[in-house]
Chain A
Amino acid sequence: MSRDVKGTYRAQSRREEDVKGTYKAQSAAAGAARDTSAETPSARKRRGPTTRMVPVPSQSIVPERDADKNPILECRHLGIDFGGLRAVDDFNLMIGRTEIAGLIGPNGAGKTTVFNLLTKVYAPTRGTILLDGVDTAGMDTPKVSQAGIARTFQNIRLFDSLSVEDNVRIGLHNQIPCGMWSGMLRLPRHWVSEKEFHDKALELLDVFGMAGNADDIAGSLPYGAQRRLEIVRALATDPKLLLLDEPAAGMNPSETAELMDNIVRIRDTFDIAVLLIEHDMDLVMGICEGIAVLNFGKIIAKGTPAEIQSNPQVIEAYLGKQE
């Protein structure tokens, strides 16, 4: 099935075909240099004379304003198998420094699995993840967070029994140092850091106008507020890339509209990149700059919202083939 899609997809657009060709040559060169065994045999055959390569694989797209900078995230041939199931395969993606990118696809396409790969909840079977040019191989989830990837969860995962402020303070954990002994014996360092924790937490909560709820228990907040708090907590880790897993799930149209404004505002204020998974097409088409469509663990299309909306592969993946 996926092979089929790929075939038609290749024949579809000449431009894409060309792009694919150059990309494969580049990946082969990279393979030779890194001596990885993950390359496919066909890529090996295409190993040609050394060409001078640009750091941006031409297959990926980034916003024009970010083109001359290092991409914040680059996935190369990322893949994971669960037993015999190839959940994600040959996932290539590049995200610009200040891009709002979308990852869409039908249910079960592997979108959340991609997030779990990026944050190392799962160890990738194949491929490379470069975060701001740094290979994240060998890092575990806390290390990846410290390196600059923050995320929210599809099913909300707050620290339910703690207060809203404490949730954000825990997000700030690695930003403000204070050792165990300082806290246990109430050394001056503790009081200085607690003040800093308090001020920063309220400042962050204010981004979503939640400073007034600081003392509420996180688990008692309404659903929409819990989703917002998750974003605040993620922002507290001072990320370079924010991963949002269905941020608009369960929200009504007016809440979604507010969320869209907020996401753009967060990007502008914190100067970070955002990658979001979403089923709400108004949100995706409304704020995402580049969109990747995933189906059966493979990317079937990448492009701007306008390109994606008119792409027959995407329409087929979502609505089925027209007889």
Chain B
Amino acid sequence: MGKLKNLNAATRSNLITYGMVIVLFVVMQSLAAAKAISSSTAGLLVPITAYICLAISLNLVVGISGELSLGHAGFMSVGAFTGVIVASMLAEAIPVGWARLLVSMLVGGVFAGLAGFLVGVPVMRLHGDYLAIVTLAFGEIIKNLLNNLYAGFDGSGLHLSMTNAQALGMDGGKIVINGPQGAVGITKLSNFAMGFLLVLFTLFVVLNLVNSRTGRAIMAVRDNRIAAESVGINTTKYRLIAFVVSAALAGMAGALYAQNFSSIVPKKFDFNTSILILVFVVLGGMGNIRGGIIAAIVLTILPEKLRFIGDFRMLMYAIVLIAVMLVTNNRTIQSKIADLRERLRRRGDDQAALAVDAEGGVVDE
């Protein structure tokens, strides 16, 4: 414990975040193994890990880079559908489920990163609200493109079409993505452990990036663009790095998410999903990675747990959101919380001092 206090603040905070994720995983995994959680909650475990990854990756853009992006679900869907195609094509080449999932996530991430780059180059000319509006539009464009995408493979390889399934010109084979019907007949490869590993990987990438030369440059651009330029930082480059890394990580999470279901439609990745991820980030605190993780967990479980009050559950959801916003922005409540924390800390110190005194006494005698 003493050693933990000697580390610098950022490292300590990062270790706490890793620790929290690992503990949560162990607890949930053992609960699931002991069948102590309902099947509906168990079914939420993989989506929750995917949402955590999305929240962490979006935090890189919204919290660390300071740009409001409303098209995160678009990059998620690129990763999801790429991942599904890759996984079904490699079904024979890689029979091991987790390895196939890993490869599909990596390829999904690369393609989503590529999409992020293509979108990012024009978008990074903008700032603030304008950037938000344009990312929203790009998210919708990606969704609509996927809505019209037909993909299948046969002996001669991959066939893609934007008109209909017949235009694929398939010779037998299998249709993987069927336009608005989305991907059907997905082999369910995702599991909680893989989700957990992806969360760790996402955390590793984002936290390392933030606490490095590149991350400092990104935060400098956020805090003061003019000053960042004046010390020789290419602002567009670093904003773009944050955007592309975020998109790639969202793609990996998308591949994980999609392969948790037997079918998935492009409509799933619409504006509402983007906003949902943004709500995780904002509620957890922009730039606060740990807060985003907690928000993603709570806000995914809450609507399920509130099912017993029927239609009122979305109302409760809204009330929780408003309450958190009010509390975190209310100075009176904040100072009360700070007071309480200070008092707890002082009590801890007193006890420590008492313990030291007691030890000292023993030595004296």
- Across the interface, A183 reaches (CB within 8 A) one of B214, B219, B229, namely B214
The stretch from B100-108, B205-213, B290-298 touching chain A is B205-213
Whether A184 sits at the interface, judged by CB under 8 Å, is: yes
Interface residues of B, count at CB 8 A: 28
Contact B215 A183 (CB under 8 A): yes
Whether B156 sits at the interface, judged by CB under 8 Å, is: no
Contact B230 A145 (CB under 8 A): yes
Contact A142 B233 (CB under 8 A): yes
Most chain-B Cβ atoms within 10 A of its Cβ — which of A153, A159, A169, A170?
A: A170
Which residues 153-170 of A sit at the B interface, judged by CB distance below 8 A? 153, 157-162, 166, 169-170
Contact B232 A173 (CB under 8 A): yes
Contact B226 A193 (CB under 8 A): no
Contact B216 A170 (CB under 8 A): yes
Whether A298 sits at the interface, judged by CB under 8 Å, is: no
Interface residues of A, count at CB 8 A: 41
Summed over the interface, the residue pairs from A and B with CB atoms below 8 Å come to a total of 103
Measured in the bound complex, the distance between the Cα atoms of B227 and A145 in whole Å is 11
Contact A166/B229 with A159-B223, A180-B209, A183-B209 known, Cβ cut-off 8 Å: no
Residues of A within 8 A of B213 (CB): 169, 173, 176, 178, 183, 190, 193-194, 197
Contact A157 B232 (CB under 8 A): no
Residues of B within 8 A of A186 (CB): 208
Interface 1/0 per residue, B1-28 and A, CB below 8 Å: 0000000110000000000000000000
Interface 1/0 per residue, A212-246 and B, CB below 8 Å: 00010000000000000000011011000000000
Whether B38 sits at the interface, judged by CB under 8 Å, is: no
Contact B223 A162 (CB under 8 A): yes
Residues of A within 8 A of B212 (CB): 178, 180, 182-184, 190, 194
Contact B234 A142 (CB under 8 A): yes
- Across the interface, B229 reaches (CB within 8 A) one of A141, A160, A185, namely A141
Residue of A nearest to B212 (CB): A183
Contact A170 B205 (CB under 8 A): no
Residues of A within 8 A of B205 (CB): 184
* Chain B contact surface mostly: helix
Contact B208 A185 (CB under 8 A): yes
Residue of A nearest to B211 (CB): A183
Contact B231 A237 (CB under 8 A): yes
Measured in the bound complex, the distance between the Cα atoms of B229 and A141 in whole Å is 6
Contact A162 B219 (CB under 8 A): yes
Most chain-A Cβ atoms within 10 A of its Cβ — which of B215, B229, B241?
A: B229
Measured in the bound complex, the distance between the Cα atoms of B214 and A158 in whole Å is 18
Whether A107 sits at the interface, judged by CB under 8 Å, is: no
Whether A95 sits at the interface, judged by CB under 8 Å, is: no
Residue of B nearest to A146 (CB): B232
Residue of B nearest to A197 (CB): B213
- Across the interface, B227 reaches (CB within 8 A) one of A157, A184, A215, namely A157
Residues of A within 8 A of B228 (CB): 159, 170
Whether A151 sits at the interface, judged by CB under 8 Å, is: yes
Whether B217 sits at the interface, judged by CB under 8 Å, is: yes
Most chain-B Cβ atoms within 10 A of its Cβ — which of A142, A153, A162, A171?
A: A142
Contact B230 A173 (CB under 8 A): no
Contact A142 B229 (CB under 8 A): yes
Most chain-B Cβ atoms within 10 A of its Cβ — which of A140, A143, A183?
A: A183
Whether A262 sits at the interface, judged by CB under 8 Å, is: no
Whether A295 sits at the interface, judged by CB under 8 Å, is: no
Contact A174 B232 (CB under 8 A): yes
Measured in the bound complex, the distance between the Cα atoms of B229 and A151 in whole Å is 11
Contact B216 A166 (CB under 8 A): yes
Closest 5 CB pairs of A and B: A183-B212, A145-B232, A159-B223, A157-B227, A141-B229
Extra contacts besides A142-B232, A159-B227, A169-B216 (9): CB < 8 Å: A140-B229, A170-B220, A170-B233, A171-B231, A173-B232, A174-B231, A180-B214, A184-B205, A190-B212
Q: 28 pairs across A/B with beta carbons < 8 Å? A: A142-B233, A142-B235, A145-B231, A151-B230, A153-B226, A153-B230, A157-B224, A157-B226, A158-B223, A159-B223, A160-B223, A161-B219, A162-B220, A162-B223, A170-B231, A173-B216, A173-B232, A173-B233, A178-B213, A180-B212, A180-B241, A183-B208, A183-B211, A183-B215, A184-B209, A185-B208, A233-B231, A237-B231
